[in-house]
Structure 1
Amino acid sequence: MTDVNVTELGIPQWWQFMHPLLQVAADGRDWARRDLYSAALDRAGVSEDLRLVQYGSSGNYAAENRVGWAKSALTRARLLETVRRGVFRITDAGRAFLADHPYEFKQSALEELPAWDEYEVKRRVSTSQPEALPEIIDTPSSDPDDLLDAAKANTDQSVAVDLLQRLRDGDWRFFERTVRQLLATMGYGTEGTKLRATTSGDGGIDGVINRDTLGLDRIYIQAKRFRDSAVDSDTVRTFLGSLDTQKASFGVFFTTSRYTRDAEVAADRSSKSVVLIDGERLAGLMIRYRIGTQVRRTVEIVEVDEDFFE
């Protein structure tokens, strides 16, 4: 299970794992990271299915990642200590803190501890251009991966709207070239025979692309620019009929709008392998394969190199 909104699925927030972590470590054992995380997830009641959920931005397992941030906070507050590489143990301060907080606690409780401020980064604020410094928004309920995913989702949504608007307003020939280029970039076709436009005698098919290296199978393309109206079942059946005329087995129908339920049923019941790509999915593929888009900024996320300190 990947690339979903992990908060809506019911995975506890990162700070909600701090208490289970301390409870697990309260036995005084030296806990290996993997065992500690697994035991904390068990105590928090996180199901096996939820443990398989991954962040879209990094591919990390969301629940395990949140436990990691909780462990980092407890280590910073000196409630947990690193015994050796990848092995942790509760401290005397951790035992006392757990006794004072037998139930759930938040980061604000850790921030009251003297040890917390020992690692606080002191930033020098320039007085010459104070307006150039961004406002830091405190969101303790969200871990960094949540924030990255949210920022990427908002950006992608904005870009997707712009892409579809440009395709709808542009020339129909440009739209057809775009979808053929997308398929070629996705790996369909070979050098020199990647794609070709069709002619008026091809039964309404807008393009053809090789499915394999030798060109033994071909994918026939239909591309319809719709603004508000959905592609209905009659339009899809006409496309299926064109595939029959070409004696084709594979087809992809692109649109900038959406499909009716009857249209989706018609494609599903067809004996041919037909894929319907609506506007939302088309924009997502263009963003993923960099068709009409480019990377504006790359952010590098660092973590401690355990090997360095071994």
Structure 2
Amino acid sequence: MTIPDYQSLLLPLLKAVADQQIYTLRVLYERLSDEFGLSHDERAELLPSGNQPVIENRIGWAKTYLKKAGLLEYPKRGHVRITERGLSVLQQDYRQLKASDLKQFEEFQSFTSQSNKAGDEAEVLEAITSEQATPTEAIEAAYQRLRTELATEIMAQIKDLSPFFFERLVVDLMIKMGYGGSRKEAGEATKASADGGIDGIIREDRLGLDTIYLQAKRWDNVVGRPEIQKFAGALQGERAKKGVFITTSSFSREARDYVNNVDNKIVLIDGERLTDLMIDFGVGVSTGQVFEVKQLDSDYFSE
């Protein structure tokens, strides 16, 4: 069973409270999840941001739309109850209730057009309420698309620059992640070397209690097990315990399996993870626009 979209939840949610009793959101989450036969994994599946389960987000937005249309009311925080208008809608025997059906109510029309003050944003909200995604999902999906496009641009830039620049980029990233201290302290990692598999050395912490050996390869081909074996051998030659192998391409399954069976702790970072880390830690990127999505502070309004 796939997780139902928010529009598929509108009518079941309304029917779930048809007895005019007051229900908590938690009870409704469980009841609707049971009704749709969702597995444990489906109930636990999170939005891309990891902030909320998908099913709870969709039920939450279905509740919001029904409330905005006057079909539900909130008698107290975290609780819902059906209204007379909601009962009237149930009597119309809808096979499926959609957001477009809610436009017959003036309150819902006001809700969907409230962003007229911001010009084109009204069209965005109108589009969201007509699609399968909730507004939260639409925002997160748009963010993920922008992030994916940015990652592609980053990788294209990396491949156009010199191998030396790539090694310097790797050190910059390690520093931003909290390793090596300052650029001056991590300078040893930027030296060119022909040491049989190690491009540089960086401190694990500011005190230098341990060191991490780095290998950076700006490759297009898949990195196989032989390359990782060479790196592991180089670590043993230096009596090193930790290493990070970073590439712009990817690693074979044999390479990934190999690092799980050696005494040295070797972390493999492929091109996809590299660009993710660069975005997360602000290496080679700058902030364009910041949008704050605010939510109601229920504690403020409690007496």
Is the CA contact (8 Å cut-off) linking 1:57 and 1:148 kept in structure 2? no
Is the CA contact (8 Å cut-off) linking 1:195 and 1:210 kept in structure 2? no
Query: Could you state the TM-score of these two structures normalised by the residue count of structure 2?
Result: 0.87
Q: Which residue of 1 aligns with 2:271?
A: 279
Following TM superposition, by how much is the alpha carbon of 1:58 offset from its aligned partner in structure 2, in angstroms? 6.2
Give the distance between the partners of 2:69 and 2:21, measured in 1 at CA: 19
Q: Which residue of 1 aligns with 2:12?
A: 20
Q: CA distance change for structure 1 residues 150 and 291 in 2, over 3 Å: closer, same or farther? A: same
Match of 2:28 among 27, 36, 49: 36
Identity of aligned residues (%): 35
List gaps (5 residues or longer) in structure 2.
Answer: none
Give the distance between the partners of 1:279 and 1:134, measured in 2 at CA: 39
Is the CA contact (8 Å cut-off) linking 1:57 and 1:145 kept in structure 2? no
Provide, for residues 257-278 of structure 1, a one-character-per-residue CA deviation record: whole Å limited to 9, x for no partner. Answer: 1222332233233221111111
Which amino acid counterpart does residue 25 of structure 2 have in structure 1? R
SS at match of 1:84: coil
SS at match of 1:88: strand
Is the CA contact (8 Å cut-off) linking 1:184 and 1:195 kept in structure 2? no
Q: CA distance change for structure 1 residues 248 and 308 in 2, over 3 Å: closer, same or farther? A: closer
Moved more, 278-287 or 230-239: 230-239
Following TM superposition, by how much is the alpha carbon of 1:67 offset from its aligned partner in structure 2, in angstroms? 0.8
Give the distance between the partners of 1:135 and 1:79, measured in 2 at CA: 24
Query: Could you state the TM-score of these two structures normalised by the residue count of structure 1?
Result: 0.85
Following TM superposition, by how much is the alpha carbon of 1:243 offset from its aligned partner in structure 2, in angstroms? 0.6
Q: Which residue of 2 aligns with 1:74?
A: 66
Q: CA distance change for structure 1 residues 107 and 135 in 2, over 3 Å: closer, same or farther? A: closer
List gaps (5 residues or longer) in structure 1.
Answer: 1-8, 127-131
Q: CA distance change for structure 1 residues 120 and 65 in 2, over 3 Å: closer, same or farther? A: closer
Provide, for residues 63-89 of structure 1, a one-character-per-residue CA deviation record: whole Å limited to 9, x for no partner. Answer: 111111000111111111111222221
Which amino acid counterpart does residue 254 of structure 1 have in structure 2? I
Give the distance between the partners of 1:241 and 1:213, measured in 2 at CA: 27
Q: Which residue of 2 aligns with 1:203?
A: 196
Residue pairs, 1:1-310, within 5 angstroms? 10-57=2-49, 59-101=51-93, 103-121=95-113, 123=116, 136=124, 138=127, 139-190=130-181, 193-194=185-186, 196-197=188-189, 198=191, 200=193, 202-226=195-219, 228-307=220-299, 309-310=301-302
Moved more, 251-260 or 192-201: 192-201
Would you say how many aligned residue pairs link Structure 1 and Structure 2?
Answer: 296
Following TM superposition, by how much is the alpha carbon of 1:109 offset from its aligned partner in structure 2, in angstroms? 1.9
Q: CA distance change for structure 1 residues 273 and 144 in 2, over 3 Å: closer, same or farther? A: same
Following TM superposition, by how much is the alpha carbon of 1:211 offset from its aligned partner in structure 2, in angstroms? 2.2
Q: Which has the higher helix share?
A: 2
